[in-house]
């Protein structure tokens, strides 16, 4: 089988499956990505073509394989302290919160966990300095593979370049032996984060309202109706006057009512809604 051995009709099948399961719209230029990420799965099941593989996914004849395919197609780039201005704004928000309350944050598309752990480090640093109430972080993703990575808290040293040195010393353990070249998030910090699989296009589970929700660089993969649906659902889990972070290049103006822009990629819920 050639790596480019996929027809337009076959590509349409996987595009429809991915959209139905995740809300993600694959453009016509993503055929090569699909082929490269799923080729080994076709081989692993001894199938003769992508057509046979996509037919099996659609029929559900290979248990668990649809989730595996979704996992492979929804892996997104992330890193510690991405878009650092957002974490400075997060500090400003925390400073305004009464010390006897609990500040709750949801990383709603946490991928491999760097965003959730960056949030946790930011909040714990404020707590350590007496500037923050107690805090809770929830992190979720559709992709089970990246959630497993996030829960482990184990990363390559190459991922640490954006982490300030004092935080690296305080919240990470350097690996030795077979873990040489790896770093591990401190156990106390890991235990403060609850990871769960949540599909944002499906009805959301019962969640305690959050002060802040992060959904950064995700909406770009959705068409407008799905974007609107996801944002409306997230607003239902945000406290009155709570804040939603999206990517700094993302714009929600005119998408839904009840959001007021307060900075690049930062929207406050209008308490009047």
Positions marked active-site: 37, 141
As a whole number of angstroms, the distance between CA 79 and CA 208 comes to: 27
Q: Which two structure tokens, joined as six digits, stand for 249?
A: 């290049």
Estimate the crossing angle of helix 65-73 against helix 8-22, to 10 degrees.
90
Which run of H or E residues covers position 102? strand 102-107
Q: What is the CA radius of gyration of the chain?
A: 20
Nearest Cα residue to 227 out of 74, 26, 23, 28: 23
As a whole number of angstroms, the distance between CA 179 and CA 221 comes to: 35
């Amino acid at each position: 089988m050639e790596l480019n051995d996929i027809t337009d009709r076959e590509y349409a099948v996987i595009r429809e499956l991915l959209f139905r399961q995740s809300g993600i719209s694959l453009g016509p230029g993503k055929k090569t990505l699909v082929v490269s990420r799923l080729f080994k799965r076709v081989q692993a099941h001894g199938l003769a073509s992508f057509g046979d593989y996509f037919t099996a996914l659609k029929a559900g004849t290979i248990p668990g394989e649809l989730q595996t395919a979704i996992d492979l197609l929804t892996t997104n780039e992330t890193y510690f302290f991405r878009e650092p201005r957002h974490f400075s704004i997060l500090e400003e928000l925390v400073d305004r919160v009464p010390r006897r309350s609990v500040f709750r944050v949801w990383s709603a598309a946490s991928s491999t966990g760097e965003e959730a752990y960056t949030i946790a480090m930011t909040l714990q640093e404020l707590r350590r300095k007496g500037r923050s109430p107690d805090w809770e972080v929830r992190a979720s993703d559709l992709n089970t593979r990246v959630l497993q990575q996030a829960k482990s808290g184990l990363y390559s040293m190459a991922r640490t370049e954006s982490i300030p040195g004092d935080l690296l010393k305080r919240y990470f353990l350097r690996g030795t032996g077979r873990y040489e070249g790896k770093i591990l998030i401190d156990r106390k910090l890991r235990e403060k984060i609850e990871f769960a699989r949540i599909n944002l296009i499906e009805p959301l589970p019962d969640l305690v309202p959050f002060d802040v929700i992060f959904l950064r660089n995700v909406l770009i993969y959705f068409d407008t109706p799905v974007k609107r649906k996801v944002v409306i659902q997230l607003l239902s889990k945000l406290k009155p006057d709570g804040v939603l972070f999206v990517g700094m290049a993302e714009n929600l103006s005119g998408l839904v009512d009840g959001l007021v822009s307060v900075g690049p990629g930062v929207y406050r819920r209008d308490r009047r809604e």
